[in-house]
Amino acid sequence: MKKPALVLVGAIVLLIAVACGDQNSVGSAGALQHIPSPSPVAPSPSPSPTHVAVAPPPVVQHSTQPPPPAQQTVTIDIITNSPYLTPQGVKISHGTIVKFVNQDQQPDKIEVQNSAGGTVATSGSIAPGGVWSFTFSSPGGYTITDRRPYAQDPVSVT
């Protein structure tokens, strides 16, 4: 009688195991057979955030110096008769551009000399109606002469 009791106990254990969800199940011969657990599925990797490079804001530098003055322009006409250069005795600030406009009927030439008599600039030939410009960049006294050596005009630059 031991054998039927043993079979009965085995059947009960088997029923309890199946009812409780054990991972073991009955094989075709009635023996317990181990069924492997399914492997956990790895989750899909979440997309990584896209990083966009952002340039830093531009650096604004503030100057403690006042802005340079606007560049001024003065016009001196070269004319046929005395005083030959007009206006006369021009007083300007350094950095001023002086435009020489040939109002004469023949080509002319301008020479700029410093107070020591040294030539600072020479225009070359200026055709009638033509213009030549010169920027007085250094303070001092200058003399402007046209093609006639006696036609001179002082310029004072501060």
Which tokens go with 63? 């100057």
Which tokens go with 78? 């070269």
CA distance 7 to 81: 145
Region 86-104: what's the mean pLDDT? 92
Q: What is the DSSP letter of 36?
A: P
**pLDDT higher than 80, residue 34:** no
Which tokens go with 34? 């181990």
More confident residue, 103 or 52: 103
- pLDDT-above-90 percentage for the chain: 37
Look at residue 22 in the predicted model and tell me its pLDDT. Answer: 47
Look at residue 24 in the predicted model and tell me its pLDDT. Answer: 47
pTM for the model stands at 0.55
Helix (H, G, I), strand (E, B) or coil at 105: coil
**pLDDT averaged over every residue in the chain:** 77
Among the ranges 37-41, 118-122, 146-150, which has the highest mean pLDDT value? 118-122
